[in-house]
Each structure stands twice: as structure tokens, then as C-alpha cells.
């Protein structure tokens, strides 16, 4: 099977766990991954999901080595955050290149191997796909797009018996959040002060609220992905317990939901 974004966080933990269970795992990484290179049953494959040529090259290599895949796990992702007004166009584009176009290109390239292996497609999404958080518009929109692609593919691929699964891993303690904060701070530093100051109180309140949220370990997310891999008839969606409150919020009237979000984050509520 293939795991993208295998170099760290949920990707590394998932790769190692699946290898422990006896699966041969192709670990898709952008650069070197020495911590995976010598692991039994792990085959590191260089692949930048935003580069169609690299994705096709990886598919060619894996096709030569195997007759099919049991699963393709689209795990690679990034977080771009901040007030949408202030998000640099290049960062917004990068958000969709990694989180949307990347999984789409991987799916297109590896579907022949999934057909041959009677496999399944597993897309790692996020709770923000269902409830968009303020100042998290780019990541929310990209994961909502990934969810929509997954729903369409679930019907498109049903003729071949290829299940399409969405996994919502909840909040896990991985480097992705620190990278997002660093990138957002850098973008804000290059924003004219008069515009950045407009958002300063809200961003400070948001920062205090997020500091109170302690991300958990990656284990629950890995457990969900492994369950989706091993299930004879996988469910369309697996949701971590830490993300289930989002299911409740997503069903509320929009104004009610907005007020609850604003209150919990210390922001001014909409009317």
C-alpha cells in the first residue's frame, strides 16, 4: 500500500504500524527519510504530491514492483491559516496544491493499481472540512474540497468495488501546527501594519483560545486509518472521538453555530 506524507506525524506512525501488521508499505516522501529507510517492509519512494511528473514516476516504480495495491492513503497535507484578507496568494495556492490537487493527482495515477489489487482509497481529512473555523479558512476550504472529491469518487468507483473512505483524525500533536503558525507569523510580518492591526485583537483572542486546546497523541488517528485498511467493508467516514463535537456543530443553524464558535474563541459574535 501507499502512504503519502509519510515523513512525519500521522504519516510516519501509520507507515510503521501497517508494516508491523505485515503490510508492505510504500512511504511517499518529498525528501530523504532515514528513519524509514531501514524499516522492515517499508519502501521509501520520493514523491512530491504537487508534482504530476513525480507522482507518475512513483506510480511507474511501484507498478514494476507489485501487481496491485491494497490501499492508497492520501495523508500528505499542510495548514495555511490567518485572516483570509491577509493570506498571501502564493500560500493560498500552495494550500490547495498540497491538500486538493495532490490527492487528486495521486488518485489518478494509482487507480489502476487499486483496481488490480481490489484495494481502497483512504483520504485523511479534518474536522474543519465540516465546520470552518475563523482564521482557518484556507485549510477548511481545502479539506472541504477533499471531502467533496471523496464523495464523488465513492460513487464513481463503486462499479469496481473500490471503497472510498474519509478519515477525520481529530487534533493530533504533530509538527504541522508549529509549521503553520510559523508561516502565518511570517506572512503577518510582511503585511502593512495598518491592515495587520485591524486583526490584532481577534488574533490574540484566537491564540489564547487555541493555547487552551491540547492536541492529543497520533495513536487514535493511526487506529482509525488501520481500521479503514483492515475492514472487509470499510465505512465511508471514520471520525476520531476528539472531532465528534464538530458533527454536532455542523448540524446547527448557521447563525447559532457562528455565535457558539465566536464565544468559544473569544471573538465578537455575528448578529
pLDDT per position as a tens digit, 113-171: 999 999 999 999 999 999 998 999 999 999 999 999 999 999 999 999 999 999 999 87
Is the pLDDT assigned to residue 217 strictly greater than 80?
Answer: yes
Please give the distance of CA 81 from its chain centroid, rounded to a whole number: 14
Residue 240 near residue 180, CB atoms below 8 Å: no
Q: 2 pLDDT band (50/70/90 cuts)?
A: very high
- In the sheet where 237-239 sits, what is the strand order? 42-46, 25-29, 2-3, 71-74, 120-124, 164-168, 237-239
Terminal Cα distance for the chain, rounded: 49
**Residue 200 confidence (pLDDT) above 90:** no
Tell me the helices (H) and strands (E) count for the chain, helix number first. 11, 7
83-117 confidence digits (pLDDT tens): 999 999 999 999 999 999 999 999 999 999 999 99
Using a 10 angstrom Cβ sphere, with 0-12 exposed, 13-18 middle and 19 or more buried, the burial of residue 196 is middle
Spatial separation of the C-alpha atoms in residues 50 and 44, rounded to whole Å: 18
What DSSP designation does 30 have?
Answer: S
Look at residue 203 in the predicted model and tell me its pLDDT: 84
Strands (E), the chain: 2-3, 25-29, 42-46, 71-74, 120-124, 164-168, 237-239
Non-local (6+) Cβ contacts of 99 within 8 A are: 77, 78, 139, 142, 143, 145, 146
Query: 155, exposed or middle or buried, with CB in 10 Å at 0-12, 13-18, 19+?
Result: exposed
Give the tens place of pLDDT for each residue, 230-271: 999 999 999 988 788 888 888 999 999 999 888 888 887 665
Amino acid at each position: 500500500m501507499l502512504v503519502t506524507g509519510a515523513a512525519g506525524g500521522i504519516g510516519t506512525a501509520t507507515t510503521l504500524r501497517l508494516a508491523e501488521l505485515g503490510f508492505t508499505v510504500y512511504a511517499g516522501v518529498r525528501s530523504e527519510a532515514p528513519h524509514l529507510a531501514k524499516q522492515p517492509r517499508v519502501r521509501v519512494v520520493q514523491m512530491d504530491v504537487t508534482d504530476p511528473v513525480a507522482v507518475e514516476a512513483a506510480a511507474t516504480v511501484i507498478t514494476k514492483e507489485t501487481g496491485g495495491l491494497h490501499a492508497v492513503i492520501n495523508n500528505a497535507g499542510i495548514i495555511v491559516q490567518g485572516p483570509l484578507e491577509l493570506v498571501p496568494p502564493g500560500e493560498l495556492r500552495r494550500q490547495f496544491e498540497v491538500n486538493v490537487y495532490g490527492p487528486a493527482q495521486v488518485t489518478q495515477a494509482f487507480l489502476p493499481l487499486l483496481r488490480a489489487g481490489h484495494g481502497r482509497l483512504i483520504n485523511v481529512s479534518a474536522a474543519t472540512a465540516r465546520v470552518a473555523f475563523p482564521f482557518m479558512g484556507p485549510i477548511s476550504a481545502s479539506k472541504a474540497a477533499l471531502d467533496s472529491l471523496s464523495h464523488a469518487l465513492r460513487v464513481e468507483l463503486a462499479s469496481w468495488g473500490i471503497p472510498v473512505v474519509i478519515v477525520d483524525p481529530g487534533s493530533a500533536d504533530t509538527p504541522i501546527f508549529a509549521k503553520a503558525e510559523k508561516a502565518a507569523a511570517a506572512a503577518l510580518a510582511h503585511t502593512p501594519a495598518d491592515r495587520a492591526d485591524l486583526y490584532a485583537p481577534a488574533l490574540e483572542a484566537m491564540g489564547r483560545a487555541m493555547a487552551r486546546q491540547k492536541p492529543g497523541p497520533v495513536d487514535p488517528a493511526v487506529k482509525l486509518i488501520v481500521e479503514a485498511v483492515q475492514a472487509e467493508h470499510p465505512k465511508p467516514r471514520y471520525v476520531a472521538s476528539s472531532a465528534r463535537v464538530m458533527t454536532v456543530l455542523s448540524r446547527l443553524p448557521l447563525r447559532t453555530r457562528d455565535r457558539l464558535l465566536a464565544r468559544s474563541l473569544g471573538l465578537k459574535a455575528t448578529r
